[in-house]
Amino acid sequence: MSLRIACRVSLHSGHLIVPRACISRRAFIQTAASHTDEPLRGIPPPLKGIKIVDLTRVLAGPLATMLLADLGADVIKVEENTRGDDTRSWHPPAAPIIGDAPAPSLPPESAYFLTANRNKRSITVNLKRPEGLEIVYKLIKEADVLVENYIPGKLASMGLGWEDCKKINPRLIYASITGYGQTGPYSKAAGYDVIIEGEAGLMHITGEPDGPPCKVGVAVTDVATGLYTHGAIMAALLSRQQTGKGVWVDANLFDSQIAGLANIASNYLISGQEAKRHGTAHPSIVPYQVFPCKDGFLMIGAGNDRQFKLLAENILQRPELADDPKFSTNGARVANRTEIVQIITDTLMQHERDHWLEKFSGLGVPFGPINNIKQTFEHPQAIARGVTVEVDHPRAGKVKMVAPAVTYNGKRMPVERPPPYLSQHTTEVLQELGYNDQQIEDLRAKSVI
């Protein structure tokens, strides 16, 4: 979608304010660049020298370890011998394989796997063999962190539980990611994002008021758990710096999702009132939801009475609404939600989305278009911020992916390694552990690696 430049420009506290919804891509990038007077320097990778043994699969665990890898940690992803991380087989879509690519017998690199495994090294180890366990024990002895997402008790039965590993390395941070945590009646149950979305309240509040419960369009419970785990590991590393001792981190989808209920959880705990589904609307603010236009949708968030007055006068062309006792305060608008929502809808349906984007620009009322994924990555702000990065993958060639989300002194952490293909670094890592070429070949012949 191209946005027309027909907007008001204002001065605020001496700074030029250009409304975001109607600025050209070129002008936006030039404006953003003009605020930088010196080169962007970033910071040295803060986790350089930290070694992490990654025994996780799918999303929550791999996301947590990828965030640590982005900060410079050496993350060694230990995978099952023949198929590796489950998400390697979750395709299409997958990146095409270039000619003369290594490991031609492997399937293509799935888009899902590429999502959460950059900056890591991959080795394959058969944990059911004593020689395989010995490899992992050697890794643990040298590691700072181990991250796993097996059902509670599974790794302990194999000699890789917390008690086993801290005997090998008392300074080890051992992070366990599960569905329901290490204790409680559900601790042994497998955890899946969509199940926890339902069981921990998120699905109950997601969807239209007159429709069935609905899952979120991305695995947000997995993502939240990965973020919580990443933060917990960073805290555990700081704790170890103070005490010299390792820590067992118990992270899980169930607790993470309940914590993620935020104000909805607080509303219930304080008032005892059951939550309802509101679609894109807000239970306590009106208008604060998606509205249809003639050819698309627009999100409007008039969060206070001043913003509603601006909306009534400049968009609805109904200034009297701001003084009407039914709509003059947020509480009144919540009570008369259906009526005011219909008034706004009737007005917006008279014109196309771009017309309203112009009208809202510079008005002071929060708003935004509902973009598809293509429009999201073509957004002027996404381009100006450099939200994607292109890496050279040994099997797939040039691969584009979402860049790390945070900048430090104006610069993102670099992607030093593309997501690895299965077993790409097995020989390299074993050599670092002291195995010679003949020992490595013997292990490979026995299907240990």
Catalytic residues: 222
Facing residues of 124 across strands? Answer: 79
Q: Which of 60, 51, 72 is nearest to 229 (CA)?
A: 60
Q: Which of 438, 291, 310 is nearest to 368 (CA)?
A: 291
Asked whether the beta carbons of 135 and 91 are under 8 A apart, the reply is no
d(CA 294, CA 431): 64
C-alpha distances (whole Å) from 87 to each of 65, 111, 386 are 15, 9, 27
d(CA 126, CA 357): 57
d(CA 308, CA 343): 13
Helix (H) or strand (E) holding 437: helix 437-445
Asked whether the beta carbons of 316 and 360 are under 8 A apart, the reply is no
d(CA 315, CA 301): 13
Q: Which residues of 155-184 are buried (b: 16+ CB within 10 A; e: fewer)?
A: beeeebbbebbbebbeebbbbbbbbbbeee
Amino acid at 6: A
Structure tokens at 367: 């708003």
Q: Which of 188, 152, 184 is nearest to 258 (CA)?
A: 184
